[in-house]
Amino acid sequence: MKKTASDMIKHHDLNGKVFLVTGAYSGLGAITTQVLLKAKAKVIIASRNAKTQADFAQGLIDDKDILFDPQQLDASHTLDLGDLASVRDFAHYVKGAYDQIDGLINNAGVMYTPPGKTKDGFEMQMGVNVIGHFLLSKILAEITRRQIWLSSKGHTRLGAPRINLDQITKVDNGDYNPRLRYQQSKLGNILLAKQFGEEYPHLKAVSVHPGMVSTNLGRNISFVQKLTFILTNPLMVMNMKQPEEGAATQVMVAIMPESELTNGAYYADCRVTEEAESAKNMEDAKKLYDYCNEVTLAYQA
Ligand SMILES: NC(=O)c1ccc[n+]([C@@H]2O[C@H](COP(=O)([O-])OP(=O)(O)OC[C@H]3O[C@@H](n4cnc5c(N)ncnc54)[C@H](OP(=O)(O)O)[C@@H]3O)[C@@H](O)[C@H]2O)c1
């Protein structure tokens, strides 16, 4: 039996705790938000589409199975991780409104996007998954107690190459490989979790692989590619998790006692798991952190 996010939250009273969930209105983010609200936490949701976010918030309030005080939910602001000005404005709103974030859940993500750049000129997957979350985490670092970075086993794909900073800005349609950029971005998430944990002794930061979960993440994969994957990986497809199961690990690390959480660790299936060698390289972690810091500096003030 696979563990679910609801199993993780059972018997927990999170009254007084504040969590921030990016990409909250779908997939793993939606389940994470629901179970945290059920356990009485305050949840700030940070998604990019204002109407979808408002509808999602209203749906939660109307849901008789969740039963929470609407004051627990802050859906007042939106966040586009592909736009540094939007990240800055959102982060400054949070910093002004809250004294402490008990768990920042860097959950939003894109996968296998076609060649393209964010508003600020970063390759889309690196820009959203890595640079946008870096800026959010950096502005909020002083008031954050715990960071949870959604990574993926995808960081081990293609031989798990080391982080290559050229991949962050260069989008040459001729040799753009969407799988490589996703691998790099999810590797970047692990490295940044490790480095934030080093830079800020008052907080703990971890990364998570949720498993292969049935969500909308694969929206850029064609029907033929999906069919080929199903036919060549039947066991993996049979073991695919539902979002309730996929969100178990991120919920577990968000709420577990601080003394039990391993700073910098990579968690999968609700336990510390070994990451690829390229994800253990602290020189690369520092290099990536410094790069992200430099390119977002103008937005940090
Ligand atoms: N599902 C899996 O099998 C799997 C496996 C390994 C890792 N993960 C990781 O788990 C995380 C959650 O993914 P999911 O499976 O729940 O997929 P999902 O349902 O597609 O959720 C992703 C969320 O990210 C949001 N997002 C995308 N671009 C954004 C932007 N520029 N600004 C703000 N929000 C943005 C999406 O909002 P929009 O709808 O507006 O685009 C959506 O709410 C991702 O980081 C993913 O890499 C998932």
The predicted pLDDT at position 175 comes to 85
Q: Is residue 25 part of a domain?
A: yes
CB 138 within 8 A of CB 194: no
* 3-state DSSP helix/strand/coil % of the chain, to nearest 5: 50, 15, 35
Q: Ligand 1 pocket check: which of 105, 110, 136, 219 to mutate, most ligand atoms within 8 Å of Cβ?
A: 110
Q: How far apart are CA 11 and CA 257, in angstroms?
A: 14
Q: Is residue 299 part of a domain?
A: no
The predicted pLDDT at position 167 comes to 86
Catalytic-role residue among 25, 112, 182, 267: 182
* CATH of residue 273: 3.40.50.720
Q: Identify which of 10, 4, 17, 3 has the alpha carbon closest to the alpha carbon of residue 258.
A: 17
For CA atoms 152, 109, 157, 238, the dihedral sign is positive
Is 267 marked active-site?
no
Q: Is residue 295 part of a domain?
A: no
Ligand 1, CB within 6 Å, residue ranges: 22-23, 25-29, 47-49, 79-82, 107-111, 128, 150, 152, 209-210, 212-213, 215-217
- Tokens 């998430």 label which residue? 189
Q: Identify which of 115, 112, 110, 111 has the alpha carbon closest to the alpha carbon of residue 176.
A: 115
Type of residue numbered 145 = R
The predicted pLDDT at position 237 comes to 87
Q: What distance lies between CA 58 and its chain's CA centroid? A: 23
The predicted pLDDT at position 120 comes to 97
**pLDDT digits over 277-297, tens only?**
999 999 999 999 999 999 999
**Number of domains into which the chain is organized:** 1
Q: Is residue 271 part of a domain?
A: yes
Q: Identify which of 185, 188, 243 has the alpha carbon closest to the alpha carbon of residue 211.
A: 243
Instruction: Spell out, as residue ranges, where the chain has pLDDT lower than 70.
Output: none
Q: Is residue 215 part of a domain?
A: yes
Q: In which element (H, E) is residue 104 found? A: strand 103-106
- Residues 6+ away with beta carbon under 8 Å from 279: 155, 160, 187, 190, 191, 266
Burial tier of 274 (Cβ tally within 10 Å: 0-12, 13-18, 19+): exposed
* Residue-number span of the structural domain to which 19 is assigned: 5-290
Q: Is residue 113 part of a domain?
A: yes
